[in-house]
Each structure stands twice: as C-alpha cells, then as structure tokens.
Amino acid sequence: LKDRFDGASRVMMRNSDVEVPAQRNDAAPHRVPRRDRYSLQLRPHNPDHKSPGVKDLVYLEPSPGFCVKNPRLGIPGTLGRTCNDTSIGVDGCDLMCCGRGYRTETLSVVERCN
C-alpha cells in the first residue's frame, strides 16, 4: 500500500464525465457491476504521464501542507514542536521541520532519589 501511495498519480476529470446510473425500485433490482457504475475518464494532470490503470492509486487535488499552521483546515503546523533528531520517521527533525533547520538542546535534570 505504501508503494502504491508513493506512486500515486494526480489526475483530472471533467464534471460531464460523471454519470450516476438511475436507481430502480424493483423488488429485485438488477445490479450494475461496480466497474460500470461510473464512466469516468481520468486523465493524467501531467500530459507526459501515462493514464492510470485500474489498480493505480490516484488523487484529484494535492494534500494541504502540514508544515505551516492553517486553522481553517485544522492543521497545527510543526513550528516549535519537539522532534527526534536520530529518527528517520515522521517524528524525525528532518521531516517534521520541513527543511527549515532545527536547533538541538541538551538538558540536564537532577532529581532526588529515595
């Protein structure tokens, strides 16, 4: 799934491409195969790319950025958050700081032991 997500293609479609079949009220409605329910013509956003296949993961709009605070979309941003400078995951400083750079601090805490 991660490979499919990483390889997802941005596509375009016209509003006229969406045709929803009429619903029937028969006691035994005839089922329309899932692949035939909508006749969508998805075209690649970049004309140099090939059209997506049946199993390709596609998207219509890019996701909003998560680095900058956007209250309207409920995105808190990453400025001022604590990160892990040794991690290559989502909590790592390289990814979380969005290329802005980061400052490391070393704190020594003295606690009384019983």
- The 10s digit of each residue's pLDDT in 12-69 is 886 655 555 555 555 555 665 665 555 667 888 888 888 888 888 888 888 888 899 9
For residue 53, the enclosing domain spans 1-61
d(C-alpha 73, C-alpha 94), whole Å: 24
pTM over 0.75: no
Encoded tokens for 73: 């979309």
Nearest to 52 by CA among 39, 40, 43: 43
Encoded tokens for 34: 């899932």
Domain count, the chain: 2
Within a domain: 113: no
* H or E stretch covering 78: none
User: Are 53 and 100 part of one and the same domain?
Assistant: no
User: Are 1 and 57 part of one and the same domain?
Assistant: yes
d(C-alpha 59, C-alpha 86), whole Å: 32
User: Are 5 and 44 part of one and the same domain?
Assistant: yes
Contact 51, 43 (CB under 8 A): yes
